Structure 1
């Protein structure tokens, strides 16, 4: 996994959008925003004891797998636009990249975009209440991703602005410097 601050360009969202000069973001900085990451063996996901341990410890009881590509995802253009709308969720967003690659963009506490490039083997957790969005990169393909959930799957995006939403306020109280 790699991460960097993004430029403000509105050009093709699948481009890296590096600042000039590039400003990389450390795993520690992401962790301070509540973003968790593991690198796992995607070729052994069905039997990977490390994945099973993470799932058990964090209570991830449901999973599904989707492939995001023009050929595989019904209503592809509509879905990719909705994934790229800035939003929050009431629960964590947990994704495990089994193949391909894509970008999760998250807002830092100063409202700047950080682009997180996930590739095969990367598992990422975005905390509830964090502003984020997703897009493919130039490969135009990701097998995501195993989507993991605590209990029954709920994927309801609450598009920005949501600053007054209780889950957003809770996120700020947990991760904003006091």
Structure 2
């Protein structure tokens, strides 16, 4: 996984948009982003390692999300727009990239700058509840991702706005940033 601040240039969201300013592990830690690299080519072994993390974090359910034109058909473009719209969740977002790659962009709280996380096969992240983020494919146009959930699989996005600023999960996230500062 590579982490860097995004440039502000217009253009295809699948392009790197690399400002040349790397983001340190310390910054990612302060944002509450957990991350691992578990090679996905080791047959069956990656599943065992993911299961250990899932058990430690009390994830009981999972599904696989295939983001491709072939896999999503007519809903492909609409789903890409939905995923790329800035939002937050009231649950952690935990993802393991089995195949392909993409970008998770998260807001750096103090500056509101976009931090771009380029994930590829074998990368696993946990985004904390309440963090503003979005997802987009990279130029490979494919992502097969294991999604883990504490309860029943659900994906409810709360688009950034006045309402989300007062959302209890957002407020708790912001408070956690102040404590770790």
Please state which band the TM-score falls in when normalised by the shorter chain: over 0.9
For residues 46-105 of structure 1, the C-alpha deviation after alignment (integer angstroms, 9 at most, x for no partner) is 454322211111001101111111111130000000000000000001110001010000
Alignment of 1:77-96 (within 5 A): 77-96=77-96
Q: What is the match of residue 166 of structure 2?
A: 164
The structure where helix makes up a greater share of residues is 2
Unaligned runs of 5+ in 1: none
Moved more, 65-74 or 108-117: 65-74
CA-based RMSD of the aligned residues comes to: 1.4
Q: What is the match of residue 40 of structure 1?
A: 38
Q: Is the 8 A contact 1:45 1:51 kept in 2?
A: no
Q: Is the 8 A contact 1:4 1:25 kept in 2?
A: yes
Aligned mates of 1:15, 1:57 — CA distance in 2: 35
Aligned mates of 2:76, 2:128 — CA distance in 1: 26
Q: What is the match of residue 63 of structure 1?
A: 62
Structure 1 residue 41: Cα displacement: 2.7
Aligned mates of 1:73, 1:45 — CA distance in 2: 26
For residues 19-42 of structure 1, the C-alpha deviation after alignment (integer angstroms, 9 at most, x for no partner) is 1xx000122211110111011132
Give the TM-score taking structure 1 as reference length: 0.93
Give the TM-score taking structure 2 as reference length: 0.92
Aligned residues: 175
Q: What is the match of residue 72 of structure 1?
A: 71
Aligned mates of 1:171, 1:56 — CA distance in 2: 23
Q: Per the alignment, in what secondary structure is the counterpart of residue 22 of structure 2?
A: coil
